[in-house]
Amino acid sequence: MPSRKTVKDYIRTIVDFPHEGIMFRDVTTLFADPRGFRMCVDQLLHPFAGEEIDKVVGLEARGFIIGGAIAHQLSVGFVPIRKKGKLPGATISEEYQLEYGEAVMEVHDDAIEAGEKVLVVDDLLATGGTAEAGIRLIERLGGQIIGCSFIVDLPELGGRTKLEALGMDVQVLCEFEGA
């Protein structure tokens, strides 16, 4: 009897992308497979079964794909948190540190109402900078974060520890060693 595939089995690794020394964890192969994608969405939702969720927030860009699918599954609204300059209309922004430099994330200033319960999703948790910026934006709008779900964690980079230190419930489907 063949062994049952896990989410991790659907993710391919591309060596030296985007530059030498990086092991890029490509979730597009997971998204392209209907069984793998369905398994991913179901497993990201499972830890929060029975929780009241008003909005799903997806972090740019692959977080939009899984966030939209999860929001649809829950019949709730979806909110994108994007890189600076990508959203029309009034926004609030949050700077965060990259390995070399800074970046800025933005959300519409009316995307989340005070007291709404929010699930944050993204494909990959590395240093946690993008997720932390997203969390701060949600909190500034008055949203209550019930948890953060990621497909992949790179534990050596410390993102999970950073988010848990902020009091977040962090769920991941699989881990890969290395950067």
Q: How far apart are CA 156 and CA 54, in angstroms?
A: 32
Q: Which of 71, 81, 4, 70 is nearest to 37 (CA)?
A: 70
pLDDT at 179: 64
pLDDT in tens, 140-164: 999 999 999 999 999 999 999 999 9
Number of domains, the chain: 1
List, by residue number, the catalytic residues.
62, 99
Residue 11 included in any domain:
no
Helices (H), 55-151: 62-74, 129-140
Assign residue 142 the CATH number of its domain. Answer: 3.40.50.2020
The tens-digit pLDDT sequence of the chain (179 residues) is 567 999 999 999 999 999 898 999 999 999 999 999 999 999 999 999 999 999 999 999 999 999 999 999 999 999 999 999 999 999 999 999 877 789 999 999 999 999 999 999 999 999 999 999 999 999 999 999 999 999 999 999 999 999 999 999 999 999 998 76
Residue 85 structural domain: 37-175
